[in-house]
Structure 1
Amino acid sequence: MSSSADAAAPVLPTSDSPAADAPTQPGDAAASTPAPAERLGYTLWAVLRRDPQNPYAPELDDVPQLDAVVDALAGLGVTVRGFYDVSALRADADIMIWLHGEVPETVQSAYRQLLRTDVLGGLLPTWNAMGMHRDAEFSRNHSPAFMRGKAPETWLTVYPFVRSYEWYLLPEAERRQMLADHGKQGSEHRAVLTNTVASFSLGDYEWILALEAPELVQLVDLMRDLRYTEARRHVREEIPFYTGRRIPTTDIIEVLS
């Protein structure tokens, strides 16, 4: 489900592309031009929680160190798209980090560097997921928002997605029709930015989806509307959900206090 806020009708990937089996992308433009050159993108979401056995409270004086690491990572080709307050929505989560880059080992290294800072160093990992996007597999409008230069929105929900065992064996025409119906169902939610990346062999999932919106209610409404489609019969797994609000680094101190 990748979309842009100003797009028109959904465009389905071609049948010979791995994108043909991805969750549909409501709101994508009806006509688009394939990317001229292949560009790989790797992205990582990391959910962290406080350690009840080792309580600690970072201070505002610790924030410049974290900011300096974020700036240094940008120089290495890794972008921190945001830090998110995911506290209270789940009992096992306080802060979520979203970062991306073109080299997977550099993204891994960036994650470790962030966890070495005084602000984040006392937290425990709850859930991590890495995904990959290859530009040449999609039209440009099917690219994740983070790879199209879209500014991050205020609210984010991230979740994994696994198709049913039968899905990949269904006739192509049947799958296409279900994907088209699924895309139409979500096409009215144009304010939602969508980021769909493949996660085959990178973890326990097939796809990772990250939806961004100005308001939390927009994410709730989109996810609810997408339940009313035939493609829902071919979902094997789509949990856990981690949802939160994008915050400046200074606000991390209050979340962890």
Structure 2
Amino acid sequence: MADQDHAAASAIPWFVQFTAFKVDPAWRRLPHTARAEGREAFAGVVEEYASSITTWAYSGIGLKIGVDLLLWRRGVDPKLMQEMTARLLRSGIGCYSEISYQLFGYTRSSVYTRRPTSQEQAIDLNDRQTYLIVYPFSKTTEWYLMSRDARQGMMNEHMRVGHEYADIRQVLLYATGIDDQEFVVAYETEDLPRFSQLVTDLRATEARRYTLRDTPIITAIHYPLRDALALIG
């Protein structure tokens, strides 16, 4: 039954957003009480939508300029996600924030694998690892003009390398035609140097020739929401 439930969950076309907030320095000059109330107001909005939108919080302070807070959100309704974002920007610390990065897309089954591994099903999990790395990704026109068999062969090599790092989770979102990038790629890890080695190994595969864009790269650390907000001040 558990396997059936997981299979059903994996079939849901999740709408997923990674939203980064940059906070105005004026926020940290507010009185302590005002900042405490502002953080709580922001957290209250997240909790209000929790029945429909799952949210995980990250801090990019000291890692990525302009990412004081990163929210990874998972739901099924883009309109509701937009409504929540608008509410956040009108609530507490959100009034002192602007969105510095916004990446979004949908989940769907890969055309290159028959059955995703547990490593590739991280989007359906509710526990998160310490480090998150997320970036936009697009392929070249030449990639799509090749035969399906040629692309499959290169992806097989790519996936073999990835599976050697089974402890590193991955999420792939599809955004072709609905945003500037074709995909959003996210990884979770407990070991940043090991993740860097994975990327080094992947860049030595044949498929790398057909990468058009894979920046900016955002690295952030997972915290409970209120802890991530407290780091901002």
Per the shorter chain, which TM-score range? 0.7 to 0.9
Separation in 2 of the partners of 1:37 and 1:214? Answer: 24
Corresponding position of 2:86 = 112
Corresponding position of 1:47 = 20
Matches within 5 A, 1:64-213: 64-75=40-51, 77-80=52-55, 82-134=56-108, 141=116, 144-146=121-123, 148-213=124-189
Corresponding position of 2:226 = 250
Amino acid at match of 2:69: I
Separation in 1 of the partners of 2:10 and 2:75? Answer: 17
Q: Residue 150 and residue 223 in structure 1: after superposition, are their counterparts in 2 closer, same or farther (change >3 A)?
A: farther
Corresponding position of 2:194 = 218
Which stretch of structure 1 is more off in the superposition, 224-233 or 210-219? 210-219
Corresponding position of 2:27 = 56
TM-score normalised over the length of structure 1: 0.77
RMSD: 2.5
Task: Give SS of 1:56's match.
Answer: helix
What percentage of residue pairs aligned between the two structures are identical?
Answer: 25
Shift of 1:126: 1.0
Shift of 1:68: 2.5
Question: Contact (CA 8 Å) 1:35, 1:139: kept in 2 or not?
Answer: no
Separation in 2 of the partners of 1:124 and 1:187? Answer: 38
Shift of 1:141: 2.6
Question: Contact (CA 8 Å) 2:10, 2:121: kept in 1 or not?
Answer: no
Q: Residue 64 and residue 139 in structure 1: after superposition, are their counterparts in 2 closer, same or farther (change >3 A)?
A: farther
Separation in 1 of the partners of 2:109 and 2:44? Answer: 30
Separation in 1 of the partners of 2:54 and 2:95? Answer: 19
Task: Give SS of 1:236's match.
Answer: strand
Amino acid at match of 1:171: S
1:30-75 Cα shifts (integer Å, max 9, x gaps): xxx97699532100111111235xx113633434333332221122
Separation in 2 of the partners of 1:182 and 1:89? Answer: 28
1:98-146 Cα shifts (integer Å, max 9, x gaps): 1110111111112222222213331121110110113597766366412
Q: Residue 78 and residue 56 in structure 1: after superposition, are their counterparts in 2 closer, same or farther (change >3 A)?
A: same
Structure 1 residue runs of 4+, over 4 Å off?
Answer: 33-38, 135-140
Question: Contact (CA 8 Å) 2:15, 2:77: kept in 1 or not?
Answer: yes
Question: Contact (CA 8 Å) 1:69, 1:113: kept in 2 or not?
Answer: yes
TM-score normalised over the length of structure 2: 0.84
- The unaligned stretches of length 5 or more in structure 2 are 1-5, 29-33
Task: Give SS of 2:107's match.
Answer: strand
- The unaligned stretches of length 5 or more in structure 1 are 1-32
Separation in 2 of the partners of 1:230 and 1:189? Answer: 19
Question: Contact (CA 8 Å) 1:154, 1:213: kept in 2 or not?
Answer: yes
Which stretch of structure 1 is more off in the superposition, 234-243 or 90-99? 90-99
